[in-house]
């Protein structure tokens, strides 16, 4: 009982999806700041325990709870045991193609799961930070890039689920005065992003380049992306989640520079004979130009990205090369 009372008094932040790619860096940033205890809830569907291994034993890292955001009993237990100051809700099914093939799964995880968690956050007076995505936007060719006021268009069930969940979160803000923030980062890349998924174009290209394989580009490669380095993204998530000026707001995070997928492939592999163009798997859900504008985040919370694309790619390659060497050493020893 004493332990329970002590835990209740310690302000904790809950990071859902904290064993995933961006979540792992959000946990790192929170621990670096040292203001709160950090608890992770993740069902390990696409994340992994090993992403958090360096934090095990950190005095402010309390636990990794392996479980689902839709598990009401588990959520009740977490909010009862700990005093959750802020929920950083990053857990989601993020694969666009999967959302087209199996929309029920993405609806359950990304909409119902967000509602289940939001409802707990309301009952326990927690702040709620919802990780949405730039994929909610319609195409935009404005030279100043896509701002939070730009039109949205859910081109896939994934984007539709994120918009639905965003609206529910904002509804709680307006109805109950709950402190919430909606985040729409642009395409994020960096160390720990899986190289076998659909979305991590930088990781997939770097991994294939280092293994001497061809880089396959969907469609003609003229689609552009505004690529945000993951530590800049994690700093954005934590800054926005902590700043009073971000309450009730929707905030973009982007670099303000977009590159075509053709240019990206060339930067990574150099030799054009190692680049191929293949048939797009879901052209109808492709956004042809994604250039973000994060003036609002700069003005409201003072956030700006600091890592250039070239530097971010170098860090990603170094990390992947070290991971591939480890893999080779283990295979050699086996």
Ligand X SMILES: NC(=O)c1ccc[n+]([C@@H]2O[C@H](COP(=O)([O-])OP(=O)(O)OC[C@H]3O[C@@H](n4cnc5c(N)ncnc54)[C@H](O)[C@@H]3O)[C@@H](O)[C@H]2O)c1
Residue 19 interacts with ligand X (CB under 6 A)? Answer: yes
Buried b (16+ CB within 10 A) or exposed e, 227-238: bbbbbbbbbbbb
Which of 29, 37, 42, 258 forms a contact with ligand X (CB under 6 A)? 42
Nearest to 233 by CA among 272, 195, 188: 188
State the helix-helix crossing angle for 309-333 and 261-269, rounded to 10 degrees.
Answer: 60
If binding means CB under 6 A, how many residues of this protein chain bind ligand X?
Answer: 30
Q: Closest distance between ligand X and the C-beta of residue 1, in Å?
A: 29
CA 34 centroid distance within chain: 21
Q: Closest distance between ligand X and the C-beta of residue 212, in Å?
A: 26
| Residue span 244-273 as binding mask against ligand X, x where in contact by CB under 6 A, dash where not | ------------------------------
Q: Closest distance between ligand X and the C-beta of residue 18, in Å?
A: 7
Residue 165 interacts with ligand X (CB under 6 A)? Answer: no
Between 145 and 185, name the residue whose CB sits nearer to ligand X.
185
- Which one is catalytic: 36, 124, 137, 158? 158
Q: What single-letter DSSP state applies at residue 134?
A: G
Binding range to ligand X, per CB under 6 A, among 41-49, 137-145, 164-172, 261-269:
41-49
Residue 188 interacts with ligand X (CB under 6 A)? Answer: yes
* Residue 295 CB contacts under 8 Å (≥ 6 apart), including other chains: 147
Which of 12, 39, 43, 223 forms a contact with ligand X (CB under 6 A)? 43
Phi-psi region of 45 (alpha: psi -120 to 50; beta: other; left: phi over 0): alpha
Nearest to 133 by CA among 146, 120, 116: 146
d(CA 225, CA 255) in angstroms, rounded, equals 10
Active site residue 158: yes
| Residue span 64-103 as binding mask against ligand X, x where in contact by CB under 6 A, dash where not | ----xxx-------------------xxxxx---------
Which of 114, 150, 181, 187 forms a contact with ligand X (CB under 6 A)? 187
Between 91 and 313, name the residue whose CB sits nearer to ligand X.
91
CA 189 centroid distance within chain: 9
Residues 120-139 that bind ligand X (CB under 6 A): 131, 133
Buried b (16+ CB within 10 A) or exposed e, 36-56: bbbbbbbbeebbeeebbeebe
Which are the catalytic amino acids? Answer: 158
Q: Contact positions toward ligand X, by CB under 6 A? A: 16-17, 19-23, 41-47, 68-70, 90-94, 109, 113, 131, 133, 185, 187-188, 199
């Amino acid at each position: 009982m004493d332990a329970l009372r002590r835990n209740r008094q310690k302000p904790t932040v809950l990071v859902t999806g904290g064993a995933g790619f961006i979540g792992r860096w959000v946990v790192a940033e929170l621990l670096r700041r040292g203001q709160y205890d950090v608890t992770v809830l993740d069902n390990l569907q696409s994340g992994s325990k090993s992403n958090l291994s360096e934090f095990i034993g950190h005095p402010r890292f309390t636990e990794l709870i392996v479980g689902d955001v839709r598990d009401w009993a588990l959520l009740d237990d977490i909010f009862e045991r700990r005093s959750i100051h802020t929920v950083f809700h990053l857990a989601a099914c993020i694969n666009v193609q999967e959302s087209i093939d199996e929309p029920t799964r993405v609806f359950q995880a990304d909409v119902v799961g967000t509602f289940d968690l939001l409802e707990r956050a309301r009952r326990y007076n927690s702040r709620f930070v919802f990780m949405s995505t730039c994929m909610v936007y319609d195409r935009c060719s404005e030279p100043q890039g896509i701002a939070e006021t730009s039109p949205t268009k859910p081109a896939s069930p994934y984007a539709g689920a994120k918009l639905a969940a965003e609206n529910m979160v904002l509804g709680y803000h307006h109805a109950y005065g709950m402190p919430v923030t909606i985040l729409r980062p642009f395409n994020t890349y960096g160390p720990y992003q899986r190289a076998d998924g659909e979305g991590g174009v930088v990781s997939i290209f770097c991994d294939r380049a280092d293994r001497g394989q061809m880089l396959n580009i969907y469609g003609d490669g003229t689609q552009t992306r505004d690529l945000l380095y993951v530590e800049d993204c994690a700093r954005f998530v934590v800054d926005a989640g902590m700043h009073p000026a971000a309450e009730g707001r929707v905030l973009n995070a982007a670099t303000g520079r977009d590159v075509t997928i053709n240019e990206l492939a060339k930067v990574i592999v150099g030799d054009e004979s190692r680049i191929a163009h293949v048939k797009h798997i879901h052209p109808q859900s492709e956004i042809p130009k994604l250039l973000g504008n994060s003036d609002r985040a700069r003005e409201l919370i003072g956030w700006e990205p600091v890592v250039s694309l070239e530097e971010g790619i170098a860090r990603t390659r170094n990390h992947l090369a070290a991971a591939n060497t480890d893999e080779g050493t283990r295979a050699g020893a086996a």
